[in-house]
Structure 1
Amino acid sequence: MMRLIEKGLMYGNLYHVSSPALVARYNRALERLSGKQTALTDFHIDLSGYAPEIGVELDDPLYLNPNGCNRQFILLSTEQKTAPLLESKFSTSRGILRRFIEENEAQLFALTARDAVAGELVNSVYSVNSAADLFDMRRVTIEADTTGGHVAEAAKLSDMIEEFRTRDDAWWDDVLIAEMITLAKTTGDVTRAPIRLSKDSYDQENFWTAHFGGLYVFRSVDHPAAITVGPKEDLGELPINFTMSFSERNHIATFLAMNDLVEPIVKAKGINAAAILRQKLDFMIVDVAASAGINLTGLRRSDLRGLARRYAAELPEEFRVLNELLRWAEGGGPWPRIASGHPAYFYTLRAKPHKDRDLINMLLAELCPLDVRQLFICHKQLFYDSYATWPDEKKTYVADFLAREYQADKAGARAALFGADAPLSEPENEELGIVAQVGPWGRISISRDDGDDDEDDKRRRKGRKKKRRRDDD
């Protein structure tokens, strides 16, 4: 995993905690939530305040997520909103936390200037003992306050002020006035600078959970269903119309089609379908070659073609069918009929634009594990789990590829896959790339046949610099 960490592909964009004041605030919040403290003086935290270093120290990767169903959080800064959410058990958790911070950013900025804010994503389920318990999770409410209770005290002071203004004899109530003065020393003038955090509830209708080996739940679609990675018999009876496992690929395809959730890549607008298919085929060649112990460093596309010929007998069935589809997309072959039960079927799809497109792309990534770039973008935890099992040659190739291609244009890759307003996309500092130059899984080119593409890239970069200078003028 060190390759990924060094290249910023794992534990990237975490918030660094190193000052004694921030460490002390973190410990106060941690003790309030879990009764524990850390002896570390330097660590990195994610969106929820979880630190991988502290997880190792406490030997508990769920020290802020008891039972994996009530995520707790510690906010030291509103800058945490750009961080990833590690050890997530529900696909909705990151979006809910991000939305909470954005909706209360001014208040949280003021509160975290002097104290940590601690809270919890509260639902009606406190432990998941059976898969049916997951269906009781319909709404999530965030409860939060500083470790000093400033929000609660401000609410109490506001009530006292209202009573003072409306009660006829309040002017003579010395006890009320004294309590107001005492609270105001802590909260400040709440009439001019109110301290209030919204306590909104967030729907959790369609989601993925890591519980029970991985389960996708779709309740707010026309034809509700649950899709489990493992055998559906292990889940018991569920309160939903249909349950299917990953082995029932025909049923999954029918579900996606009936609810109009996906579209073929070759029919999607504004993308280069042939280049996307070529990229997927390259990853399949890399997987076979790496298993054979081939050094993949510095491979060009011509080298990959040579490896495809050399290991043609070992290439998966998905490769043959996607190659036929590629020939059609390039105008040189007949339209291949790909049945929904075929291993290549889900490689030909992407989510349509709708509110659950991130969840659908996550599902497709898990159904298409050989497309490692899609897996990294859409289902990072599964990518990390898979990466740990790969041959060293594949680890090196994939890490280098992602650092070179994905890191170079993350905003463009996400915009092409999710759309510019994707709710789960992370803010980037890079300029948004031209969508037409990227496919739904990011930049298309994996390797080059010759040096001409390098010169093209230089000319494009030079042209973009000139355009930026004209815009600045």
Structure 2
Amino acid sequence: MIHLIEKGLMFGNLVHISSPALVERYNRALQHLSGKSTALTDFHIDISGYSPEIGDELGDDLYLNPNGVNRQFILLTTEQKRSPLLNVKFSTSRDILREFIEMNEAQLFALTATDAVAGELVNSVIKLSSPRDLLNLRKIEIEADTVGGTLRKAEQLAGMVERFMTEEDAWFDDVLIARMIDTAKQTGDVTRNPVRLRHTEFEQRNFWTAHFGGLYLFPDLDHPAVICARGKPEGLPVRFVFDLSERNRIAKFFDLNELVEPIVKARGVDAAAVLQQKMDFITIDTAAAAGIDLTGLDRTDMRRLARNHADRLPAAYHGLAEMLRWAAGEGPWPRITSDHPAFFYTLRAADTPNRDLVNMLLAELAPLDPRQLFICHKELFYRTYATWPEAKRAYVADFLAREYQVDKAGARAALFGHEPDMSGEDRASEAMIRRVGPWGAVRRG
């Protein structure tokens, strides 16, 4: 993984913790949550406060995520909102943490000025005993407070202030007044500056989980289904359960719920460039397997590699080549059915609330596109990257650093954004799409 780490593609954007004050606060929070502590004086943390160095020190990558279900977190600074989430078990966790931080940023900024904020993403399940339990994870509630209990004490002080202002004899209650003064020394004036966190409940509708071999759960659709990466587990109370080999059924699921669109139909997208890049990635995979040197390749070299290894290139390459010729106006509309290896490479998620989850699933269905895999499914990317030949690892790391890392937002928008096309020159006409289906495979009744 050295190429990825050196180029900031792995463990990038983590927050560096090195000051003795922050290390001490972190240790108090860690002791508060788990009864553990670190001897390290210098480490990095992600959005949840997880540190890969401390995980290595403790021999436990889940020291802030016991059972992989109720994620705990330690906030030392609101700047953690920009960091990734490592060791992801649920696709929704980072978005929930980031939204929580952003919605309470002013309060959290004030709280973390003097103490660490420790908390947990709480749901109704403590430990997953069966896949059925996953469907009970519909609501996530965030419980958080400083290690010193500032929020709890502020709530107590607010209650005492209310009592002092409303009870007839409270003005003469010396014990109450003394408690108010003592608590206010720790919380500040809660009447002028209320210390309260808001927006702490989040709905978790459709999501991915790493549990049970990797599952994509879509219970909140008109046509619900669960798609399994590593075989079908038993006990899921859902009518339709597919594994990744059931390509026709997954394609039909996408179509019924209107979750995807062909890249060549997408507005505001340079479809030819996207298809060509996918073909290049497949060429690189084939050449690396043949032991070819991949350093310093240009467009001429890529064409030469494709020609020299044409008999080794998989069917996915040739299907994308047909689609590229059509997009360039140089060939007929290709009939790429859902059985064709190129099928899922020709799609991207439609503009729905499930866009990120669908792109994540498409990345797993089209694993020879390392750019989409890295952007949409980092856990699978890192796992797959470790199995590649060294030449491919070096090429992909260099490509991502050069073409993606310098403009992440722009790359995401170009690939997955949904911009209105003002040109009026849409190559894939709506009439054709209605007639032959978006991929030339799924006919509409």
TM-score (norm 2): 0.93
Q: Which amino acid aligns with 1:289?
A: A
Q: Which amino acid aligns with 1:401?
A: F
**Distance (whole Å) between structure 2 residues aligned to residue 49 and residue 247 of structure 1:** 37
Is the CA contact (8 Å cut-off) linking 1:141 and 1:199 kept in structure 2? no
**Distance (whole Å) between structure 1 residues aligned to residue 396 and residue 199 of structure 2:** 43
**Distance (whole Å) between structure 2 residues aligned to residue 108 and residue 400 of structure 1:** 38
Residue 90 of structure 1 corresponds to which residue in structure 2? 90
Residue 278 of structure 1 corresponds to which residue in structure 2? 276
Q: Which amino acid aligns with 2:386?
A: A
Query: Which stretch shifts more, 190-199 or 386-395?
Result: 190-199
Residue 352 of structure 1 corresponds to which residue in structure 2? 350
* Runs of 5+ unmatched residues, structure 1: 422-434, 437-473
1:330-369 to 2 correspondence within 5 Å? 330-369=328-367
Report deviation, 1:164.
0.8
Residue 145 of structure 1 corresponds to which residue in structure 2? 145
Report deviation, 1:237.
2.2
Report deviation, 1:185.
1.0
Report deviation, 1:409.
1.6
Residue 23 of structure 2 corresponds to which residue in structure 1? 23
Q: Which amino acid aligns with 1:283?
A: F
Report deviation, 1:415.
2.2
Runs of 4+ in 1 over 4 A off after TM superposition: none
Is the CA contact (8 Å cut-off) linking 2:29 and 2:116 kept in structure 1? yes
Residue 80 of structure 1 corresponds to which residue in structure 2? 80
Deviations for 1:57-84, whole angstroms, at most 9, x for unmatched residues?
0000000000000000000000000000
Is the CA contact (8 Å cut-off) linking 1:274 and 1:329 kept in structure 2? yes
Residue 118 of structure 1 corresponds to which residue in structure 2? 118
**Distance (whole Å) between structure 1 residues aligned to residue 150 and residue 180 of structure 2:** 14
Report deviation, 1:379.
0.6
Residue 177 of structure 1 corresponds to which residue in structure 2? 177
Residue 164 of structure 1 corresponds to which residue in structure 2? 164
Report deviation, 1:231.
1.6
Report deviation, 1:417.
3.4
**Distance (whole Å) between structure 2 residues aligned to residue 354 and residue 154 of structure 1:** 41
Is the CA contact (8 Å cut-off) linking 2:123 and 2:139 kept in structure 1? yes
Report deviation, 1:308.
1.1
**Distance (whole Å) between structure 2 residues aligned to residue 363 and residue 143 of structure 1:** 31
Change (3 A) 1:138 1:145: same
Residue 326 of structure 1 corresponds to which residue in structure 2? 324
3-state DSSP class of the match of 1:366?
helix
Deviations for 1:358-386, whole angstroms, at most 9, x for unmatched residues?
00000000100000101111111111111
**Distance (whole Å) between structure 1 residues aligned to residue 180 and residue 315 of structure 2:** 74
Residue 205 of structure 1 corresponds to which residue in structure 2? 205
Change (3 A) 1:225 1:53: same
Residue 436 of structure 2 corresponds to which residue in structure 1? none
TM-score (norm 1): 0.87
Is the CA contact (8 Å cut-off) linking 2:111 and 2:117 kept in structure 1? yes
Q: Which amino acid aligns with 2:38?
A: T
1:43-442 to 2 correspondence within 5 Å? 43-198=43-198, 200-232=200-232, 235-419=233-417
Report deviation, 1:418.
4.0
Residue 425 of structure 1 corresponds to which residue in structure 2? none
1:30-41 to 2 correspondence within 5 Å? 30-41=30-41
Report deviation, 1:136.
1.0
**Distance (whole Å) between structure 2 residues aligned to residue 243 and residue 403 of structure 1:** 38
3-state DSSP class of the match of 2:264?
helix
**Distance (whole Å) between structure 1 residues aligned to residue 152 and residue 377 of structure 2:** 38
**Distance (whole Å) between structure 2 residues aligned to residue 381 and residue 229 of structure 1:** 13
3-state DSSP class of the match of 1:30?
helix
Q: Which amino acid aligns with 1:61?
A: D
**Distance (whole Å) between structure 1 residues aligned to residue 186 and residue 271 of structure 2:** 60
Is the CA contact (8 Å cut-off) linking 1:250 and 1:341 kept in structure 2? yes
Q: Which amino acid aligns with 1:102?
A: E
Is the CA contact (8 Å cut-off) linking 1:143 and 1:199 kept in structure 2? no
Is the CA contact (8 Å cut-off) linking 1:218 and 1:225 kept in structure 2? yes
How many aligned residue pairs are there? 421
**Distance (whole Å) between structure 2 residues aligned to residue 380 and residue 280 of structure 1:** 18
**Distance (whole Å) between structure 2 residues aligned to residue 417 and residue 378 of structure 1:** 11
**Distance (whole Å) between structure 1 residues aligned to residue 111 and residue 51 of structure 2:** 21
**Distance (whole Å) between structure 2 residues aligned to residue 267 and residue 90 of structure 1:** 31
Q: Which amino acid aligns with 1:269?
A: R
3-state DSSP class of the match of 2:311?
helix
Taking only the aligned residue pairs, the percentage that are identical comes to: 67
Deviations for 1:170-215, whole angstroms, at most 9, x for unmatched residues?
1121221111111011111111111111253111110000001110
Is the CA contact (8 Å cut-off) linking 2:62 and 2:68 kept in structure 1? yes
Deviations for 1:20-67, whole angstroms, at most 9, x for unmatched residues?
000000000000100000000000000000000000000000000000
3-state DSSP class of the match of 1:12?
coil
